[in-house]
Structure 1
Amino acid sequence: MRVASSLILSLQATLTLASSYDSNFFNPGKARRQNVNAKAYAVQEPPLTTDWTYKLGTNPWPEYPRPQLERAKWQNLNGLWTYQNAASLDALNSPPFNQTLANEVLIPSCLESAISGIQANYSIYSWFQTSFNIPSSWSNQSVLLNFGAVDYEATVFINGQKAGFNRGGYSAFTIDATGLVFVHDPTDSGDYVIPIGKQTLNPSHIFYRPCSGIWQSVWIESAPTNHITQLDVAADMNGEVNVTIHSSSGTPGPVEIIFYDSGSKRSPNILASQTGTSDVSFQFTVPSPKLWSPDSPSLYNFTVVMGSDEVSSYTGFRTISKGKVDGIVRPLLNGEFIFQFGTLDQGYWPDGVYTPPNREAMVYDLEALKKLGFNMLRKHIKVENALFYQACDQMGLLLIQDMPALRPIQSRTLSNCTSETILPDTDQQAEFTRQLEVLVNQHKNYPSIGTWVIYNEGWGQVIQGYPEFGLTDIVRSLDPTRLVDSTTGWHDHGAGDYSDNHHYANPQCGSPFYSIDSSPYDPTRIGFQGEFGGIGQNVSIEHLWNVQTAINTINQTYEIDTSIEAWNYRAHRLLDDLRDQTELFACSGGVWTQTTDVEGEVNGLLTYDRRVLRPDVAQWQADIKALYDAAAGSHNASMAIS
């Protein structure tokens, strides 16, 4: 049987995809030349390279993209597609079927990136096209077309018929392809108020080049008509496992979940098994599991069987909570106070923008943090691909996960010549809420995530009515197993689990002093330094984002140190301040700004190209250990909070 189908994706970008049933699998080790008439793919010269820029080839990200719901029968659709710009949303009325698109493009990538082969500006509307073969062995099965993330809206057509739509540049989605996709990505143009994080069409200092298009992996897989669509698995420190297995039909039916010994994939090393019913929560106990923590990130593999559908996954046993320790409210991991210390992690790359060059590059940053002694990072108003979260699970890095911010701190001039901050209207706020729910539901299985952040520094935060209280309730109802930092930085009205202060360039963490742009410490919640540090050190041009408008903003950095030695001296003083506040007051953790330089920011532990590590490793290891030691001995402190 031969079934022709085409898929067009538009994000202000569009994708056309033709498929047919065939006995041949797509070979991910061989590049697919989409059209000899299209301009051939080549990596563009970015303003700054990394060691991976020119080593990627044309078959990027070969790993299975969704490790917590993995199927055996799948094909990777990453690689060379074709692309061309579209003029407007009206392009949806005349998809470019049977036409040659102008350029080859590497998927996944941001169109604005050098790795894409396009390095475009203002890619609001675009078309993408690819072709692939579906094995004949998949007949009588559903063919699921999966996208890790497309920024921002994707309309999918199959055989000329609209088959699906997704809105949200950070969420995964699946289309039953048994497609054509049109993508629209307005970023911060016009009156759009959407979750964009730090993306802007007009980059300047702390706001960066945007990402448009298919920036996470694309793949197809075979599954029964009634198949598993989502796993909700929460495993706590007592071995209690709470499970909901969602089915495509929504009709309850028998399911089985099988846990294996740590490190093993299949029987005979079965640790525990349990039968239950799909679409209904059920519970069981795994005896004496090894607990997950940054020092011992133990993970357990399991499989789920529902009819003829079988998927593999993993989890970690751990409990996140808060409680009083010697009279101070603390974050607890497995019932014990753990001082959380990490970096503000932007997740930007000079050659890939939002998309890391490959898994090796992505993990390089995480390994650098672990070597220095960090046990946490704050994923700052961005959502990463699933393999990033898996790496944090495996390496033992706690995560504070931000919701991508609505249009940050921008204003518009009204007809009466007054200025107002751009904030969401009722419909835009409802869409923000929906995408927050999607973020939590799609990521609540990762053991490493310990805290959800709703608002960063008031960006897109409506002050009237304090909506963060209702949003906090929604997050807790979706995921009662984690903490919520409702407002990190500014406009704190008492919602959530954290009393979170931002202050550059010295900390004010759980202390009896604060600055007027933050809030006083609230002893009924966790005292936390959500951002601090931010000290910068300029470097030579070969390690800078070589864009003059970005270079012009370097002196907007909170502090510039003229040498590496001075930078390390200042860092030592700031970390020592944080240690004092941990010993003497109620500081429970902090976030150092930041992992890497980004464009016009030069305050990273690593330069933007990842070629220079600024920290004196021995000094930083000692200073971070001193923080943990201070937290462990904080009950002996002689000063009390008034």
Structure 2
Amino acid sequence: MLLALLILAPLLSTSYEVKTPPLDTPWTYTAGTDPWPEYPRPQQVRDRWQSLNGIWSWRNGAADELNGPVPTGNLGTDVLVPSCLESGLSGVMANNTGNGTILHSWYQTTFNVTEDWQGENILINFGAVDYQATVFVNGQQVVQHTGGYLRFWADITSAVKVGQSNELVVFVFDPTDSEPYVVPIGKQTLNPSHIFYTPCTGIWQQVFIEPVPADHIEWIDLDGDMNGQVNITVHSANNSSSSVTVKVWADDGQVAATGTGSSDSPIVFEVANPKLWSPESPTLYNITVTLGNDTVATYTGFRTVGKGMVNGMMRPLLNGEFLFTFGPLDQGFWPDGIYTPPNYEAMVFDLKTLKSLGMNMIRKHIKVEMDLFYHACDTMGFWVIQDQPALNIQNGAEPNSTQQDVFNSQLFELVEKHRSFPSICTWVIYNEGWGQVGAPELYLAPMVRSLDPTRLIDATTGWNWHGAGDYVDNHHYSEPQCGTPFYSIASSPYDPNYIGFQGEFGGIGNNVSIDHLWNVQQAINGINQTYELDATVEIWNYRAHLILDELRQQTEMFACSGAVWTQTTDVEGEVNGFLTYDRRILRPNITQWQSDIYALYQAAADRGGRIIISTCL
């Protein structure tokens, strides 16, 4: 009898409901079962599309199942897509509900393709699946993609039945930091402890389908500079050298400029006297791109990122002027969704909070977000420092040549798929030497530069610096050591040929009551590992004022060009956020922080920087 029950178990359907996570947010129980209805790809918008987000079925899998028959029908457990299997929002909450570590998974859903899509090619798009996804449509494998942070797509026309129900099945393999695997995982770990957190497994970004002509726009590389030059390459699905027309639209609805050329080759033309993009004035221009019968909407911001000497100091430049950048280390973790915010409103809540304090920069810390995040940064005005997700280091492993090649290829794919977002202004290759064996950045930085010469490169933020990239980047808690003639042993001394930068500092903490903490005992036990714990929020603000004033003095006296405060929110056992992990408590005294941040900008202006009018909403 017991054997019969075990055999039948996968067939017994478990209906979806939000699992109660160790901590929730104001949006946890309002996310619903039709999540993320927003168009997922703001830089390549088509009028016709169909979201496949919602309730799918799921079951645990095994490594050898990928070589066998593809399962069909309901898999037994309802799961919310997109979400991390470890999250409460997923309805599974792996690791916290007795179902153990999820290395292999099967996902299943069905979708219909309407008759009006007949005769067109059908594309399926995935925002991100952690870590390796093998996708089947009606039993036919259509794509396999490796890498947990990057979007991918496939033409599924040959597998689709128009006007009928179609079955979509995805097999996911996610080793995280289990031995012997060494893959880019960022802050994820199967054994969370203090600065390493609950992992994310599975389909954690949006899924959608769309009809396109056979010869269609596959992706776009787009840059607009401070002189009004538009440089765009429209990649066609067939590498067809087809005729392309690009129109840039002004605010009044008139065409500001038109460029023509061929697909798969750069098209360069100019917009006269453009309004420039900057954090305090994030002007964007709408653009339409037409290739044959395919037309998509996109956008750009006209700005030029570079570096140069200003009053004898090497500085980061935006539109030819020294811009002092200040903002948080942004982990992008959520107690209810882990990697996936519960909805768009929640995601931009963090950004609006940072903007209201006067910040003009975000360091996206060893995680890559959904495209809608970068679009929000483009729209709201943030200088984004984008990290490449780090290789796992928790088990002391070092990458072999094959694993290093995987890291390299995912770094290059990150750059290629995100280089059109105006807000991304700096690429980070390595964080604090994690997974950095020897000095691979000496060849990686030039390769990134060749892929994208329009941005700065922070080759090694923290330490293990060997002269690559554009920055000398110091990490020091709690006080800064930014472009100074003094430094801690772990960090590199300032070199006047590079930009002096404080890649991490602050990190001061303030504990809160259990109803605002990640209620996992191991995380609570790690709170005392915080760099500094302040007894009250008033003391926390007092300490922050002193630390920020020290940064101001270093900006006045030395070569400090920007700084990253740790961090946007608390995360699990870390209690050093501007916001608690549940986003319900804001620690900063708003008036004080606005004043202290403005003082930083003013100190930089006195050294030849641009005057910041206002970065607050």
Instruction: Give the alignment's TM-score, normalised by structure 1.
Output: 0.90
Q: Residue in 1 aligned with 2:329?
A: 344
The equivalences for 1:215-614 within 5 A come to 215-262=204-251, 269-411=254-396, 422-463=397-438, 466-614=439-587
The separation in 1 between residues aligned to 2:549 and 2:92, in whole angstroms, is: 46
What's the CA shift for 1:635? 5.4
- Residue among 178, 183, 186 paired with 2:172: 183
The separation in 2 between residues aligned to 1:310 and 1:342, in whole angstroms, is: 37
1:117 aligns to 2:96 (yes or no): no
Bigger mean CA deviation after superposition, 88-97 or 172-181: 88-97
1:214 aligns to 2:187 (yes or no): no
Residue 237 of structure 2 aligns with an amino acid whose one-letter code is S
The separation in 2 between residues aligned to 1:236 and 1:100, in whole angstroms, is: 51
What's the CA shift for 1:69? 0.7
The separation in 1 between residues aligned to 2:588 and 2:493, in whole angstroms, is: 31
What's the CA shift for 1:409? 4.5
Residue 448 of structure 1 aligns with an amino acid whose one-letter code is S
What's the CA shift for 1:164? 1.4
1:71 aligns to 2:46 (yes or no): yes
Q: Secondary structure at the match of 1:305?
A: strand
Q: Residue in 1 aligned with 2:136?
A: 157
- Which string of whole-angstrom CA distances, capped at 9 and with x for unpartnered residues, describes residues 355-375 of structure 1? 000000000000000000000
Paired positions, count: 585
What's the CA shift for 1:139? 1.1
Q: Secondary structure at the match of 1:54?
A: helix
**Equivalent pair of 1:514/1:520 in contact (CA under 8 Å):** yes
Alpha carbons of structure 1 residues 340 and 255: separation in structure 2 relative to 1, 3 Å: same
- Which string of whole-angstrom CA distances, capped at 9 and with x for unpartnered residues, describes residues 153-200 of structure 1? 011223333221100000100011115321100000011110000000
**Equivalent pair of 2:177/2:395 in contact (CA under 8 Å):** no
Q: Residue in 2 aligned with 1:414?
A: none
- Which string of whole-angstrom CA distances, capped at 9 and with x for unpartnered residues, describes residues 473-521 of structure 1? 1110010000000000010011100000000010000001001011100
Q: Residue in 2 aligned with 1:47?
A: 22
**Equivalent pair of 1:543/1:608 in contact (CA under 8 Å):** yes
The separation in 1 between residues aligned to 2:137 and 2:379, in whole angstroms, is: 38
Bigger mean CA deviation after superposition, 202-211 or 242-251: 242-251
The separation in 1 between residues aligned to 2:216 and 2:52, in whole angstroms, is: 21
The separation in 2 between residues aligned to 1:635 and 1:449, in whole angstroms, is: 23
Q: Residue in 1 aligned with 2:183?
A: 194
Bigger mean CA deviation after superposition, 154-163 or 509-518: 154-163
**Equivalent pair of 2:74/2:108 in contact (CA under 8 Å):** no
The separation in 2 between residues aligned to 1:509 and 1:598, in whole angstroms, is: 26
Alpha carbons of structure 1 residues 37 and 71: separation in structure 2 relative to 1, 3 Å: farther
**Equivalent pair of 2:259/2:267 in contact (CA under 8 Å):** no
**Equivalent pair of 1:187/1:200 in contact (CA under 8 Å):** yes
**Equivalent pair of 2:475/2:505 in contact (CA under 8 Å):** yes
**Equivalent pair of 1:409/1:459 in contact (CA under 8 Å):** no
Q: Residue in 2 aligned with 1:26?
A: none
Residue 552 of structure 2 aligns with an amino acid whose one-letter code is R
1:628 aligns to 2:601 (yes or no): yes
Runs of at least 5 residues in structure 2 that lack an aligned partner in the other structure = 1-9, 96-100, 158-167, 610-617
The separation in 1 between residues aligned to 2:592 and 2:501, in whole angstroms, is: 23
Q: Secondary structure at the match of 1:332?
A: strand
Q: Residue in 2 aligned with 1:174?
A: 153
1:92 aligns to 2:77 (yes or no): no
- Residue among 195, 198, 203 paired with 2:192: 203
Q: Residue in 2 aligned with 1:13?
A: none
Bigger mean CA deviation after superposition, 190-199 or 149-158: 149-158
What's the CA shift for 1:399? 0.2
Alpha carbons of structure 1 residues 96 and 282: separation in structure 2 relative to 1, 3 Å: closer
**Equivalent pair of 1:502/1:532 in contact (CA under 8 Å):** yes
Q: Residue in 2 aligned with 1:83?
A: 58
The separation in 2 between residues aligned to 1:230 and 1:471, in whole angstroms, is: 24
What's the CA shift for 1:37? 5.5
Bigger mean CA deviation after superposition, 375-384 or 247-256: 247-256
The separation in 2 between residues aligned to 1:85 and 1:328, in whole angstroms, is: 56
The separation in 1 between residues aligned to 2:129 and 2:199, in whole angstroms, is: 13
What's the CA shift for 1:408? 2.7
**Equivalent pair of 2:109/2:169 in contact (CA under 8 Å):** no
Residue 300 of structure 1 aligns with an amino acid whose one-letter code is Y
Q: Residue in 1 aligned with 2:614?
A: none
- Which string of whole-angstrom CA distances, capped at 9 and with x for unpartnered residues, describes residues 497-552 of structure 1? 00000000100000010010111001100000000000000000000000000000
What's the CA shift for 1:70? 1.0
What's the CA shift for 1:93? 2.4
The separation in 1 between residues aligned to 2:179 and 2:219, in whole angstroms, is: 36
- Which string of whole-angstrom CA distances, capped at 9 and with x for unpartnered residues, describes residues 187-240 of structure 1? 000111100000000000000000000000000000011111111111000001
Q: Secondary structure at the match of 2:177?
A: coil
**Equivalent pair of 1:152/1:183 in contact (CA under 8 Å):** yes
**Equivalent pair of 1:200/1:208 in contact (CA under 8 Å):** yes
The separation in 2 between residues aligned to 1:36 and 1:131, in whole angstroms, is: 17
**Equivalent pair of 2:322/2:608 in contact (CA under 8 Å):** no
Alpha carbons of structure 1 residues 137 and 99: separation in structure 2 relative to 1, 3 Å: closer
The separation in 1 between residues aligned to 2:72 and 2:41, in whole angstroms, is: 32
The separation in 1 between residues aligned to 2:415 and 2:67, in whole angstroms, is: 34
Q: Residue in 2 aligned with 1:101?
A: 75
Residue 177 of structure 1 aligns with an amino acid whose one-letter code is I
Q: Secondary structure at the match of 2:597?
A: helix
Q: Residue in 2 aligned with 1:31?
A: none
Q: Secondary structure at the match of 1:131?
A: strand
The separation in 2 between residues aligned to 1:158 and 1:93, in whole angstroms, is: 16
Q: Residue in 2 aligned with 1:5?
A: none
1:618 aligns to 2:607 (yes or no): no
Q: Secondary structure at the match of 1:451?
A: strand
Residue 461 of structure 1 aligns with an amino acid whose one-letter code is Q
The separation in 1 between residues aligned to 2:54 and 2:534, in whole angstroms, is: 43
Instruction: Give the alignment's TM-score, normalised by structure 2.
Output: 0.93
The separation in 1 between residues aligned to 2:118 and 2:177, in whole angstroms, is: 44
Q: Residue in 2 aligned with 1:129?
A: 108
The separation in 2 between residues aligned to 1:635 and 1:483, in whole angstroms, is: 20
